[in-house]
Amino acid sequence: AKVALGILDAMPPAVLIDAVALQDKAAFARANGVGPKLAARLATELAAKQGPKGFIAITAGAARATAAPASGSRAEAVSALVNLGIDQSSAARAVSAAAKQFDADAPARELIRAALKEVSR
């Protein structure tokens, strides 16, 4: 229970959903009481428990449900940014911000281009 509270203190639910979808170990490791081994285990096990359509997030402002699936092109864009030397959590944030500009089925190259602009800001 302490670890769960530490994770929720370290990141808002939207970031947690992205961290699970992208298996971002660094995001989990930022929480109090979570070391590298536990972070890797959490990322792997939570991603395995996620359904094919992703998690359902309830927004705080309105009680409406929206799906937050992890698309293949988003994961590919994050991987490309990490290969360019950007840390995993920064890459995930940049891709998430860039994805808001496109449709859900945006190609990875478009996401990468927009995410690089986000990172350079």
State residue 51's pLDDT score.
60
**What pTM did the predictor assign?**
0.48
- CATH class held by domain 1-68: mainly alpha
Give domain limits for the chain.
Answer: 1-68, 71-121
Distance CA 47, CA 49 (A): 5
- CATH class held by domain 71-121: mainly alpha
Averaged in consecutive runs of 10 residues, what is the pLDDT profile of the chain (121 residues)? 82 80 87 92 84 48 38 83 84 86 86 90 80
3-state DSSP assignment of residue 57 = strand
The tokens for 9 are 């203190």
